Amino acid sequence: MQSNVENPNPLERNLDISISQEKIQVELDDRLKRLAGKVKIQGFRPGKVPLKIVAQQFGAQLRQEVLGEILQKHFQEAVQQQNLRIVGAPHFKAKQSEENNAHYEFSATFEVYPDITLGDLSVLNVNKPVVKIGDQEVEKTLHVLQKQRAEYELTDHPAALGDRVNIDYVGLIDGNEFRGGTAQDFTLILGDGNILKDFENAIISMSAGDEKSFQMVFPADYHDKEIAGKSVTFNIKLNKVEAPVLADIDNEFAKLLGIEDGDVKKMYEEIRLSLEREVFQRTRAKLKEQIMQCLLDTTVCNVPRVLVEQEVNYLIQDAKNSLAAKGIADKDIPISPEIFWERAERRVKLGLILAEIVKIHSLNVKPEQTKKYVEYYAQSYENPEQVIKWHYSSPERLKEIESLVLEDNVVSWALEQVKVIDQEMTFEDLMGYSQASA
């Protein structure tokens, strides 16, 4: 065997392989002889089939098998000799050669894993959200929980934020109705953020039985491109207004929130613990997001195309599954691989970087870390023990947890390298809540 490696680009390699035809023929003859001793062909007794007949019927197939096996073997030997770390499977191509040439000539095209040069994280800053959970945050959350469980009763006062209203409306663009612009007996809660502000503001202060005509312009980035940025005239009729009736903060309300004995004090403590858990998780997520970006910005790493293509295929399948769950066939919405390429490239690059850091700094996941993570995660559920058993009953689910812990290990390591700057903020800002919704 003869071979040499060319480097057409940073990660792609072309490996030329030359295999002696004599070597192929020797192996082929040996297999034909073994096959002749057991093959059954009509007109011949078992074991008495002439070698020439066996070669006529099976020679071409066996030659391809022998050639494929020896080619793979020689390829692996060449790769090992040159210490190449292969990504994916090689693509073999037969090279043209002169007739009766003594060798088979092939070229193998493949990619290798990149060399990764980690940057200096010590020169970077990361902002760490600092949120204090006090009585005010607990009271606000309790009020939100009250609103979520509110009863509604008819009222004759003008519609206001927090009220539930029922309306009929017709929308017109240039005097014509448009798709999704008309509805009857439509119910919504004012202030819950589910409708556009201009539409909501037009309803506020109307009373049951009132009718109104108004104009508004849909946002330029509205999800329905047919009406995005267009001026619309709406005619609305307010059918009824219902005011919220909030439940009292008492033992019965505590039971509604899962406090079995109805202890109000315990309810407050549970809400505080839940908020602190939420703050911890969201803070960690924001730190992780910044750390990952720091790693991407400071690391020199080429990305193997074959891995990106695999990730794109995964994202496409995930998108199809999501559409199917909504009852939408993927043939109805063409999915182009290009829209996933940048995201896939980022994920692959980040995965390579994380693997390198884990290897260099021995950040592999320990069983006790996985156990601690699962137990902490389970505390947010009503039956933590069942959640823990559910995770440990499936290797796949446990592997997902281990991946999260591995990322957490890298984040913890990186936070020791960067400069962490405390950034005080409110709970609402951390969670991305608006004041109105809070």
Is 29 part of a structural domain of the chain? yes
Residue for token pair 């240039």? 174
Residues 236 and 301 in one domain: no
At residue 438, the pLDDT reads 33
Q: Note down the domain range covering 64.
A: 2-112
At residue 273, the pLDDT reads 92
Residue for token pair 């790769």? 79
Contact 347/318 with Cβ under 8 angstroms? no
Residues 300 and 334 in one domain: yes
Block means of pLDDT (10 residues each) for the chain, length 438 residues? 57 89 88 82 75 83 89 91 91 73 86 94 95 93 91 95 96 92 94 90 96 95 88 96 93 91 94 93 94 95 94 91 79 82 95 96 94 89 89 92 94 96 93 52
Identify the CA nearest to 139 among candidates 332, 6, 275, 292: 275
Strand partners, 241: 165
Helix (H) or strand (E) holding 111: strand 103-112
Contact 66/27 with Cβ under 8 angstroms? yes
Residues 96 and 128 in one domain: no
Contact 5/82 with Cβ under 8 angstroms? yes
| CATH number for the domain that contains residue 197 | 3.10.50.40
What are 250's two structure tokens? 């008492």
| CATH number for the domain that contains residue 349 | 1.10.3120.10
Residues 82 and 218 in one domain: no
Last residue of a domain, one of 220, 245, 270: 245
Residues 332 and 420 in one domain: yes
Q: What angle do CA 309, 311, 313 make, to 5 degrees?
A: 70
At residue 115, the pLDDT reads 93
At residue 4, the pLDDT reads 55
What are 413's two structure tokens? 């390591």
Identify the CA nearest to 175 among candidates 217, 236, 235, 238: 235
pTM score of the predicted model: 0.73
Pairing, β 419-424 against β 125-130: parallel
At residue 376, the pLDDT reads 87
Strand partners, 154: 242
Q: According to DSSP H, which parts of 379-394 are helical?
A: 384-392
Pairing, β 2-6 against β 151-154: unpaired
Q: Give the distance between the most distant pair of CA atoms in the chain.
A: 104
DSSP-derived letter for residue 113 is P
* Total structural domains within the chain: 3
First to last CA, the chain: 73
Phi and psi of 249, rounded to 5°?
Answer: -85, 90
At residue 330, the pLDDT reads 67
Helix (H) or strand (E) holding 180: strand 176-189
Is 255 part of a structural domain of the chain? no
